[in-house]
Amino acid sequence: MFDGFKALKRVKALEEEFESLKRDFHSLQADWELHREKALRMFQRITKRAEMLQKEEEGGEKELSDSEVALLDPRNASPIWGKLTPRQKQIQTNIMRRRANGGGQ
User: Could you state, in order of their start, the residue ranges of all structural domains in the chain?
Assistant: 1-60, 63-105
Prediction pTM value:
0.42
Q: Which uninterrupted H or E stretch holds 72?
A: helix 66-72
* Torsion (CA) 42, 47, 52, 53 in degrees, nearest 10: 100
Over 70: is that where the pLDDT of 2 sits? no
Check residue 6 and give its pLDDT.
Answer: 85
Q: In the structure, what pLDDT confidence band is assigned to residue 86 with cuts at 50, 70 and 90?
A: confident
Q: In this model, does residue 36 exceed pLDDT 80?
A: yes
Inter-CA distances, 105 with 2, 42, 45, 72, Å:
73, 13, 9, 18
